[in-house]
Structure 1
Amino acid sequence: MSGYDGVAEAYDDDRDPAHERRLVEALAADLPADARVLDAGCGGGRAVLEALADEYDAVGVDLSVEQLALARERAPGAALARGDLTRLPVAEGAVDAVTALHSVIHVPREHHERAFAEFARVLRPGGHLLLTTGVGNWEGRNDDWLDSGAAMQWSFHGRDRSLELLDSVGFDVTEETVRDDELGGGEWLFVRARLRE
Protein backbone atom coordinates (compact mmCIF):
# COMPACT_ATOMS: atom_id res chain seq x y z
CA MET A 1 0.00 0.00 0.00
CA SER A 2 1.72 3.16 -1.19
CA GLY A 3 -0.08 5.25 1.45
CA TYR A 4 1.63 3.44 4.27
CA ASP A 5 4.99 3.58 2.49
CA GLY A 6 4.70 7.38 2.53
CA VAL A 7 3.40 7.70 6.08
CA ALA A 8 5.26 4.86 7.82
CA GLU A 9 7.42 6.91 10.17
CA ALA A 10 4.75 9.51 11.00
CA TYR A 11 2.24 6.77 11.77
CA ASP A 12 4.76 4.88 13.86
CA ASP A 13 5.53 8.01 15.86
CA ASP A 14 1.89 9.06 16.39
CA ARG A 15 0.12 5.84 17.28
CA ASP A 16 -0.04 4.80 20.92
CA PRO A 17 -0.28 0.99 20.97
CA ALA A 18 -0.98 0.66 24.72
CA HIS A 19 -4.65 -0.38 24.31
CA GLU A 20 -3.83 -2.78 21.49
CA ARG A 21 -0.97 -4.24 23.53
CA ARG A 22 -3.37 -5.08 26.36
CA LEU A 23 -5.67 -6.86 23.89
CA VAL A 24 -2.70 -8.75 22.43
CA GLU A 25 -1.57 -9.81 25.91
CA ALA A 26 -5.09 -11.10 26.64
CA LEU A 27 -5.00 -13.03 23.36
CA ALA A 28 -1.58 -14.48 24.18
CA ALA A 29 -2.89 -15.75 27.51
CA ASP A 30 -5.24 -18.04 25.56
CA LEU A 31 -2.57 -19.48 23.26
CA PRO A 32 -0.53 -22.69 23.63
CA ALA A 33 3.17 -22.26 24.40
CA ASP A 34 4.19 -23.33 20.88
CA ALA A 35 1.63 -21.13 19.09
CA ARG A 36 2.18 -19.58 15.68
CA VAL A 37 0.65 -16.10 15.33
CA LEU A 38 0.02 -14.23 12.08
CA ASP A 39 -0.16 -10.43 12.22
CA ALA A 40 -2.08 -9.62 9.02
CA GLY A 41 -1.25 -6.06 8.08
CA CYS A 42 1.54 -5.92 10.65
CA GLY A 43 2.66 -2.39 9.86
CA GLY A 44 5.74 -1.41 11.82
CA GLY A 45 5.38 -4.33 14.22
CA ARG A 46 4.03 -2.37 17.16
CA ALA A 47 1.60 -3.97 19.60
CA VAL A 48 1.66 -7.48 18.12
CA LEU A 49 5.07 -8.47 16.78
CA GLU A 50 7.08 -6.55 19.37
CA ALA A 51 5.02 -8.22 22.12
CA LEU A 52 4.95 -11.77 20.76
CA ALA A 53 7.96 -12.42 18.52
CA ASP A 54 10.30 -13.40 21.37
CA GLU A 55 7.88 -15.92 22.88
CA TYR A 56 5.91 -17.27 19.92
CA ASP A 57 6.46 -18.18 16.29
CA ALA A 58 5.34 -14.82 14.91
CA VAL A 59 4.72 -14.00 11.25
CA GLY A 60 3.99 -10.52 9.91
CA VAL A 61 2.46 -9.78 6.51
CA ASP A 62 2.07 -6.30 5.05
CA LEU A 63 1.91 -4.63 1.63
CA SER A 64 4.12 -1.72 2.69
CA VAL A 65 7.85 -2.21 2.22
CA GLU A 66 8.58 0.71 4.56
CA GLN A 67 6.36 -0.69 7.31
CA LEU A 68 8.01 -4.10 6.98
CA ALA A 69 11.41 -2.43 7.38
CA LEU A 70 10.24 -0.88 10.66
CA ALA A 71 8.84 -4.24 11.78
CA ARG A 72 12.18 -5.92 11.01
CA GLU A 73 13.96 -3.45 13.32
CA ARG A 74 11.35 -3.72 16.08
CA ALA A 75 10.83 -7.50 16.02
CA PRO A 76 13.91 -9.17 14.50
CA GLY A 77 12.66 -12.60 15.62
CA ALA A 78 9.53 -12.41 13.47
CA ALA A 79 9.24 -13.87 9.97
CA LEU A 80 8.07 -11.13 7.60
CA ALA A 81 6.54 -11.27 4.14
CA ARG A 82 5.03 -8.80 1.71
CA GLY A 83 1.45 -9.76 0.95
CA ASP A 84 -2.20 -8.88 0.51
CA LEU A 85 -4.84 -9.60 3.17
CA THR A 86 -7.12 -11.10 0.53
CA ARG A 87 -4.39 -13.52 -0.66
CA LEU A 88 -2.23 -14.29 2.35
CA PRO A 89 1.10 -16.02 1.63
CA VAL A 90 0.41 -18.54 4.42
CA ALA A 91 -0.56 -22.20 4.22
CA GLU A 92 -4.01 -23.46 5.14
CA GLY A 93 -4.42 -24.23 8.85
CA ALA A 94 -0.91 -23.00 9.66
CA VAL A 95 -1.54 -20.61 12.56
CA ASP A 96 -3.18 -20.60 15.97
CA ALA A 97 -4.09 -16.91 15.94
CA VAL A 98 -4.52 -14.05 13.50
CA THR A 99 -4.37 -10.40 14.44
CA ALA A 100 -5.46 -7.64 12.05
CA LEU A 101 -5.25 -4.34 13.93
CA HIS A 102 -6.04 -1.26 11.83
CA SER A 103 -5.42 -3.16 8.60
CA VAL A 104 -8.72 -4.50 7.22
CA ILE A 105 -10.08 -0.95 7.47
CA HIS A 106 -7.86 -0.02 4.53
CA VAL A 107 -9.10 -2.86 2.32
CA PRO A 108 -12.06 -1.87 0.10
CA ARG A 109 -15.11 -3.10 2.01
CA GLU A 110 -16.33 -5.18 -0.93
CA HIS A 111 -13.26 -7.37 -0.24
CA HIS A 112 -13.69 -7.70 3.54
CA GLU A 113 -15.46 -11.04 3.31
CA ARG A 114 -12.56 -12.35 1.23
CA ALA A 115 -10.04 -11.10 3.83
CA PHE A 116 -12.05 -12.70 6.64
CA ALA A 117 -12.22 -15.94 4.65
CA GLU A 118 -8.43 -15.83 4.30
CA PHE A 119 -8.11 -15.47 8.08
CA ALA A 120 -10.33 -18.53 8.47
CA ARG A 121 -8.32 -20.44 5.85
CA VAL A 122 -4.96 -19.98 7.55
CA LEU A 123 -6.25 -20.64 11.08
CA ARG A 124 -6.39 -24.05 12.69
CA PRO A 125 -9.89 -25.09 13.89
CA GLY A 126 -10.63 -23.27 17.13
CA GLY A 127 -8.05 -20.61 16.27
CA HIS A 128 -8.26 -17.07 17.58
CA LEU A 129 -8.87 -13.81 15.73
CA LEU A 130 -8.34 -10.25 16.98
CA LEU A 131 -9.20 -7.47 14.54
CA THR A 132 -10.17 -3.84 14.23
CA THR A 133 -13.08 -2.65 12.15
CA GLY A 134 -15.41 0.33 12.09
CA VAL A 135 -18.34 0.98 14.37
CA GLY A 136 -20.23 2.67 11.53
CA ASN A 137 -20.28 2.25 7.76
CA TRP A 138 -17.75 4.63 6.13
CA GLU A 139 -15.38 5.23 3.25
CA GLY A 140 -13.05 8.19 2.91
CA ARG A 141 -9.69 9.58 1.90
CA ASN A 142 -7.19 12.05 3.33
CA ASP A 143 -4.66 13.41 0.83
CA ASP A 144 -2.21 14.55 3.54
CA TRP A 145 -2.71 12.14 6.43
CA LEU A 146 -0.75 12.96 9.60
CA ASP A 147 0.80 15.91 7.71
CA SER A 148 3.03 13.37 5.95
CA GLY A 149 2.24 14.37 2.38
CA ALA A 150 0.90 10.85 1.77
CA ALA A 151 -2.68 9.95 0.91
CA MET A 152 -4.61 7.35 2.92
CA GLN A 153 -7.95 5.64 2.29
CA TRP A 154 -10.35 3.88 4.64
CA SER A 155 -13.25 1.58 3.83
CA PHE A 156 -15.36 -0.41 6.25
CA HIS A 157 -18.82 -1.69 6.99
CA GLY A 158 -20.67 -0.92 10.16
CA ARG A 159 -20.54 -3.27 13.14
CA ASP A 160 -23.52 -5.45 12.24
CA ARG A 161 -22.38 -6.16 8.67
CA SER A 162 -18.81 -6.90 9.77
CA LEU A 163 -20.05 -9.38 12.36
CA GLU A 164 -22.35 -10.99 9.76
CA LEU A 165 -19.38 -11.46 7.43
CA LEU A 166 -17.28 -13.00 10.19
CA ASP A 167 -20.11 -15.41 10.98
CA SER A 168 -20.52 -16.31 7.30
CA VAL A 169 -16.91 -17.52 7.02
CA GLY A 170 -16.97 -19.53 10.25
CA PHE A 171 -16.17 -17.24 13.18
CA ASP A 172 -17.98 -16.94 16.50
CA VAL A 173 -17.47 -13.52 18.06
CA THR A 174 -16.53 -13.77 21.74
CA GLU A 175 -15.77 -10.17 22.67
CA GLU A 176 -16.27 -6.63 21.37
CA THR A 177 -14.66 -3.40 22.56
CA VAL A 178 -15.28 0.10 21.20
CA ARG A 179 -12.50 2.67 21.52
CA ASP A 180 -12.00 6.23 20.27
CA ASP A 181 -9.39 6.71 17.57
CA GLU A 182 -6.45 8.48 19.22
CA LEU A 183 -5.37 9.84 15.82
CA GLY A 184 -8.57 11.85 15.59
CA GLY A 185 -12.18 11.28 14.66
CA GLY A 186 -14.37 8.22 14.91
CA GLU A 187 -14.37 5.02 16.88
CA TRP A 188 -12.92 1.57 16.28
CA LEU A 189 -14.48 -1.79 17.07
CA PHE A 190 -12.02 -4.37 18.37
CA VAL A 191 -13.35 -7.91 17.89
CA ARG A 192 -12.20 -11.21 19.39
CA ALA A 193 -13.49 -14.33 17.66
CA ARG A 194 -12.85 -18.08 17.39
CA LEU A 195 -12.92 -20.18 14.26
CA ARG A 196 -15.52 -22.92 14.61
CA GLU A 197 -14.18 -26.45 14.95
Structure 2
Amino acid sequence: MNDETPPEEPSTDDARDHDEWARAVMQGYDGVADAYDADREPAAELPFVESIAADLPDGARVLDAGCGGGRAVLETLGDEYEAVGVDVSSAQLALADERAPAARLVRGDLARLPVDDDAVDALTALHSVIHVPREHHEAVFREFARVLRPGGRLLLTTGVGEWEGETDDWLDSGAGMQWSFHGRERSLELLDEAGFAVEDDSVVDDELGGGEWLFVRARLRE
Protein backbone atom coordinates (compact mmCIF):
# COMPACT_ATOMS: atom_id res chain seq x y z
CA MET A 1 0.00 0.00 0.00
CA ASN A 2 1.33 3.40 -0.90
CA ASP A 3 -0.61 6.03 1.00
CA GLU A 4 1.84 8.84 0.40
CA THR A 5 1.55 9.03 -3.38
CA PRO A 6 -0.21 12.23 -4.51
CA PRO A 7 -2.51 12.24 -7.54
CA GLU A 8 -0.59 12.46 -10.79
CA GLU A 9 -0.53 15.62 -12.87
CA PRO A 10 -3.48 16.02 -15.22
CA SER A 11 -3.29 14.38 -18.61
CA THR A 12 -4.10 16.34 -21.76
CA ASP A 13 -4.50 13.32 -24.03
CA ASP A 14 -8.21 12.69 -23.62
CA ALA A 15 -10.99 14.56 -25.41
CA ARG A 16 -12.71 14.77 -22.03
CA ASP A 17 -9.90 14.79 -19.52
CA HIS A 18 -10.50 12.54 -16.53
CA ASP A 19 -8.41 14.67 -14.18
CA GLU A 20 -10.27 17.86 -14.95
CA TRP A 21 -13.55 16.05 -14.33
CA ALA A 22 -12.16 14.53 -11.10
CA ARG A 23 -11.22 17.98 -9.80
CA ALA A 24 -14.79 19.17 -10.40
CA VAL A 25 -16.17 16.14 -8.54
CA MET A 26 -13.69 16.75 -5.70
CA GLN A 27 -14.79 20.37 -5.37
CA GLY A 28 -18.42 19.30 -5.50
CA TYR A 29 -18.07 16.71 -2.76
CA ASP A 30 -16.01 19.07 -0.63
CA GLY A 31 -18.92 21.50 -0.86
CA VAL A 32 -21.74 19.01 -0.38
CA ALA A 33 -20.07 16.73 2.18
CA ASP A 34 -22.19 17.59 5.21
CA ALA A 35 -25.49 17.73 3.30
CA TYR A 36 -24.78 14.45 1.52
CA ASP A 37 -23.72 12.74 4.73
CA ALA A 38 -26.88 13.88 6.48
CA ASP A 39 -29.07 12.54 3.67
CA ARG A 40 -27.30 9.19 3.29
CA GLU A 41 -29.25 6.19 4.54
CA PRO A 42 -27.28 3.05 3.69
CA ALA A 43 -29.75 0.45 4.97
CA ALA A 44 -30.41 -0.91 1.46
CA GLU A 45 -26.67 -1.25 0.83
CA LEU A 46 -25.80 -3.18 3.98
CA PRO A 47 -26.96 -6.62 2.78
CA PHE A 48 -24.70 -6.26 -0.26
CA VAL A 49 -21.74 -5.19 1.89
CA GLU A 50 -22.32 -8.05 4.31
CA SER A 51 -22.57 -10.56 1.44
CA ILE A 52 -19.18 -9.46 0.11
CA ALA A 53 -17.65 -9.88 3.55
CA ALA A 54 -19.30 -13.23 4.24
CA ASP A 55 -16.48 -15.41 2.90
CA LEU A 56 -13.51 -13.13 3.49
CA PRO A 57 -10.68 -14.65 5.52
CA ASP A 58 -9.62 -13.24 8.88
CA GLY A 59 -7.38 -10.24 8.40
CA ALA A 60 -8.58 -9.63 4.84
CA ARG A 61 -7.88 -6.25 3.27
CA VAL A 62 -10.92 -4.40 1.94
CA LEU A 63 -10.63 -1.31 -0.25
CA ASP A 64 -13.54 1.12 -0.46
CA ALA A 65 -12.87 3.07 -3.66
CA GLY A 66 -14.72 6.35 -3.37
CA CYS A 67 -15.43 5.83 0.31
CA GLY A 68 -17.11 9.19 0.89
CA GLY A 69 -17.94 9.75 4.53
CA GLY A 70 -17.43 6.10 5.43
CA ARG A 71 -21.05 5.03 5.47
CA ALA A 72 -22.08 1.45 4.62
CA VAL A 73 -18.64 -0.06 3.99
CA LEU A 74 -16.06 1.43 6.36
CA GLU A 75 -18.44 1.82 9.29
CA THR A 76 -19.50 -1.83 8.85
CA LEU A 77 -16.18 -3.52 8.07
CA GLY A 78 -13.60 -1.12 9.49
CA ASP A 79 -13.20 -2.86 12.84
CA GLU A 80 -13.23 -6.45 11.60
CA TYR A 81 -10.97 -6.20 8.56
CA GLU A 82 -8.00 -4.18 7.38
CA ALA A 83 -10.13 -1.53 5.73
CA VAL A 84 -8.75 1.15 3.42
CA GLY A 85 -10.79 4.07 2.11
CA VAL A 86 -9.81 6.13 -0.94
CA ASP A 87 -11.57 9.32 -1.99
CA VAL A 88 -10.76 12.51 -3.92
CA SER A 89 -12.55 14.71 -1.37
CA SER A 90 -10.69 15.79 1.77
CA ALA A 91 -13.98 16.85 3.37
CA GLN A 92 -15.44 13.39 2.83
CA LEU A 93 -12.32 11.72 4.21
CA ALA A 94 -12.59 13.86 7.36
CA LEU A 95 -16.11 12.52 7.90
CA ALA A 96 -14.91 8.96 7.25
CA ASP A 97 -12.16 9.40 9.83
CA GLU A 98 -14.75 10.30 12.47
CA ARG A 99 -17.07 7.46 11.51
CA ALA A 100 -14.49 4.69 11.00
CA PRO A 101 -11.35 5.60 12.96
CA ALA A 102 -9.83 2.14 12.51
CA ALA A 103 -9.81 2.45 8.72
CA ARG A 104 -6.79 3.66 6.79
CA LEU A 105 -7.76 6.67 4.67
CA VAL A 106 -5.98 7.92 1.56
CA ARG A 107 -6.73 10.73 -0.84
CA GLY A 108 -6.68 9.32 -4.37
CA ASP A 109 -8.40 8.76 -7.67
CA LEU A 110 -10.32 5.76 -8.96
CA ALA A 111 -8.36 5.71 -12.22
CA ARG A 112 -5.00 5.61 -10.38
CA LEU A 113 -5.57 3.97 -7.04
CA PRO A 114 -2.65 4.52 -4.60
CA VAL A 115 -2.57 0.76 -3.98
CA ASP A 116 -0.10 -1.95 -5.01
CA ASP A 117 -0.90 -4.74 -7.46
CA ASP A 118 -2.75 -7.77 -6.02
CA ALA A 119 -3.06 -5.99 -2.67
CA VAL A 120 -6.70 -6.38 -1.60
CA ASP A 121 -9.15 -9.23 -1.09
CA ALA A 122 -12.30 -7.21 -1.77
CA LEU A 123 -13.10 -3.87 -3.36
CA THR A 124 -16.26 -1.82 -3.05
CA ALA A 125 -17.20 1.19 -5.18
CA LEU A 126 -20.62 2.45 -4.12
CA HIS A 127 -21.84 5.55 -5.95
CA SER A 128 -18.32 6.47 -7.06
CA VAL A 129 -17.75 5.09 -10.58
CA ILE A 130 -20.89 6.97 -11.60
CA HIS A 131 -18.93 10.22 -11.17
CA VAL A 132 -16.26 9.18 -13.70
CA PRO A 133 -16.77 10.02 -17.41
CA ARG A 134 -18.20 6.83 -18.87
CA GLU A 135 -15.53 6.59 -21.57
CA HIS A 136 -13.07 6.03 -18.69
CA HIS A 137 -15.04 3.26 -16.97
CA GLU A 138 -13.11 0.57 -18.81
CA ALA A 139 -9.84 1.94 -17.40
CA VAL A 140 -11.32 2.17 -13.90
CA PHE A 141 -12.50 -1.45 -14.02
CA ARG A 142 -9.05 -2.54 -15.14
CA GLU A 143 -7.58 -0.59 -12.24
CA PHE A 144 -9.90 -2.46 -9.89
CA ALA A 145 -8.65 -5.73 -11.39
CA ARG A 146 -5.04 -4.61 -10.93
CA VAL A 147 -5.31 -4.06 -7.17
CA LEU A 148 -7.48 -7.11 -6.43
CA ARG A 149 -5.96 -10.49 -5.74
CA PRO A 150 -7.08 -13.36 -8.03
CA GLY A 151 -10.49 -14.48 -6.83
CA GLY A 152 -11.05 -11.14 -5.09
CA ARG A 153 -14.57 -9.83 -4.63
CA LEU A 154 -16.03 -6.68 -6.20
CA LEU A 155 -19.17 -4.75 -5.27
CA LEU A 156 -20.08 -1.65 -7.23
CA THR A 157 -23.01 0.49 -8.20
CA THR A 158 -23.65 1.84 -11.66
CA GLY A 159 -26.58 2.90 -13.79
CA VAL A 160 -29.54 0.78 -14.82
CA GLY A 161 -29.72 2.85 -17.99
CA GLU A 162 -27.19 5.08 -19.72
CA TRP A 163 -27.21 8.67 -18.49
CA GLU A 164 -25.06 11.75 -18.04
CA GLY A 165 -25.86 15.05 -16.38
CA GLU A 166 -24.83 17.75 -13.93
CA THR A 167 -26.27 20.23 -11.47
CA ASP A 168 -25.04 23.51 -10.00
CA ASP A 169 -26.84 23.06 -6.68
CA TRP A 170 -26.91 19.44 -5.55
CA LEU A 171 -28.98 18.77 -2.41
CA ASP A 172 -29.51 22.53 -2.04
CA SER A 173 -25.89 22.84 -0.90
CA GLY A 174 -24.74 25.31 -3.54
CA ALA A 175 -22.22 22.73 -4.76
CA GLY A 176 -22.11 21.36 -8.29
CA MET A 177 -21.92 17.68 -9.23
CA GLN A 178 -21.52 15.56 -12.36
CA TRP A 179 -22.62 12.03 -13.23
CA SER A 180 -21.81 9.79 -16.18
CA PHE A 181 -22.51 6.10 -16.65
CA HIS A 182 -23.36 3.37 -19.12
CA GLY A 183 -26.45 1.21 -18.92
CA ARG A 184 -26.50 -2.30 -17.46
CA GLU A 185 -25.45 -4.27 -20.55
CA ARG A 186 -22.41 -2.14 -21.39
CA SER A 187 -21.23 -2.00 -17.78
CA LEU A 188 -21.40 -5.77 -17.41
CA GLU A 189 -19.61 -6.17 -20.73
CA LEU A 190 -16.77 -3.89 -19.58
CA LEU A 191 -16.45 -5.79 -16.30
CA ASP A 192 -16.17 -9.05 -18.20
CA GLU A 193 -13.48 -7.58 -20.45
CA ALA A 194 -11.57 -6.38 -17.38
CA GLY A 195 -11.44 -9.94 -16.03
CA PHE A 196 -14.45 -10.10 -13.74
CA ALA A 197 -17.01 -12.88 -13.55
CA VAL A 198 -20.29 -11.20 -12.67
CA GLU A 199 -22.16 -13.24 -10.08
CA ASP A 200 -25.34 -11.20 -9.83
CA ASP A 201 -26.81 -7.74 -10.29
CA SER A 202 -29.76 -6.13 -8.56
CA VAL A 203 -31.75 -2.95 -9.09
CA VAL A 204 -32.19 -0.79 -5.98
CA ASP A 205 -34.09 2.46 -5.60
CA ASP A 206 -31.98 5.59 -5.21
CA GLU A 207 -31.97 6.46 -1.51
CA LEU A 208 -31.88 10.18 -2.40
CA GLY A 209 -34.77 9.81 -4.82
CA GLY A 210 -34.97 10.23 -8.55
CA GLY A 211 -34.13 6.84 -9.98
CA GLU A 212 -32.54 3.43 -9.52
CA TRP A 213 -29.04 2.00 -9.23
CA LEU A 214 -27.58 -1.30 -10.35
CA PHE A 215 -25.66 -3.16 -7.62
CA VAL A 216 -23.20 -5.61 -9.18
CA ARG A 217 -21.31 -8.35 -7.37
CA ALA A 218 -18.43 -9.99 -9.20
CA ARG A 219 -15.25 -11.97 -8.67
CA LEU A 220 -11.88 -11.44 -10.33
CA ARG A 221 -11.09 -14.53 -12.38
CA GLU A 222 -8.10 -16.55 -11.20
Bin for the TM-score computed over the shorter chain: over 0.9
Correspondence for 1:149: 174
1:129 has 2:154 as partner: yes
**CA–CA distance in 1 between the matches of 2:213 and 2:145?**
22
Correspondence for 1:92: 117
Correspondence for 2:7: none
In the TM superposition, what is the alpha-carbon distance from 1:114 to its structure 2 partner?
0.7
Percentage of matched positions with identical amino acids = 78
SS at match of 1:90: coil
SS at match of 1:114: helix
Structure 1 residue runs of 4+, over 4 Å off? none
Correspondence for 2:70: 45
**CA–CA distance in 1 between the matches of 2:145 and 2:63?**
12
Q: How many residues were matched structurally?
A: 197
Match of 2:211 among 183, 186, 189: 186
**CA–CA distance in 2 between the matches of 1:19 and 1:184?**
13
The amino acid of 1:78's aligned partner reads: A
TM-score w.r.t. the length of structure 1 is 0.99
In structure 1, runs of 5+ residues without a counterpart are none
In the TM superposition, what is the alpha-carbon distance from 1:15 to its structure 2 partner?
1.3
SS at match of 1:87: coil
Cα deviations by residue, 1:49-84 (Å, 9 ceiling, x for unpaired): 000110000000000000000000000100010000
Correspondence for 1:159: 184
**CA–CA distance in 2 between the matches of 1:56 and 1:179?**
26
Match of 1:117 among 114, 139, 142: 142
In the TM superposition, what is the alpha-carbon distance from 1:23 to its structure 2 partner?
1.0
In the TM superposition, what is the alpha-carbon distance from 1:185 to its structure 2 partner?
1.0
In the TM superposition, what is the alpha-carbon distance from 1:30 to its structure 2 partner?
1.8
Correspondence for 1:5: 30
**CA–CA distance in 2 between the matches of 1:81 and 1:182?**
26
In structure 2, runs of 5+ residues without a counterpart are 1-25
Give the alignment's Cα RMSD to 1 decimal: 0.6
